[in-house]
Amino acid sequence: MNQLSHSLPWSLAQEKWSSALNPILAKPLIYGSLLQDIVLVSGKNVINHNLGQKLQGYFVVLNSAPAAFYDSQSSNQHPELTLILNASQATTVSLYVF
C-alpha cells in the first residue's frame, strides 16, 4: 500500500474522535474537583473550592447526616474562590465542584 492509504484511516479516526470528544471536553463538569471530608456546621459555611475560576455548580456526593443544603452564591462576593453552602445541621460531606 502507498503512504496515503495508510494515513487515510488514521486521519478519519482523528476527525471522528475529535467530533465526538470535543463537545464532551467543552463541558465544565469534566474539569471539576472532588473536595473530601468537608466539615460543615449548621448554618453558613464558606468553602474554598480551589477551581481558579467562578464556581458553576456542585454536587454533594457523600453526606454523614440527614442535612439539607442550599447555597448563597448569588450574594457571594468571591464566587471565583469560594462556595457558600448553608446546612440544616452539622455534617461532614464530600463535594464535587465545577
What pTM does this model have? 0.76
Bridge partner residues of 60 (DSSP): 95
Backbone phi, psi, residue 96, to 5°: -100, 115
pLDDT in tens, 14-31: 777 888 888 887 888 888
- Going across the sheet that includes 33-40, the strands are 33-40, 91-97, 58-63
Report the distance separating Cα 49 and Cα 79, nearest Å. 9
Q: Is the dihedral of CA 18, 23, 24, 29 positive or negative?
A: positive
**Ranges in the chain, pLDDT < 70:** 1-8
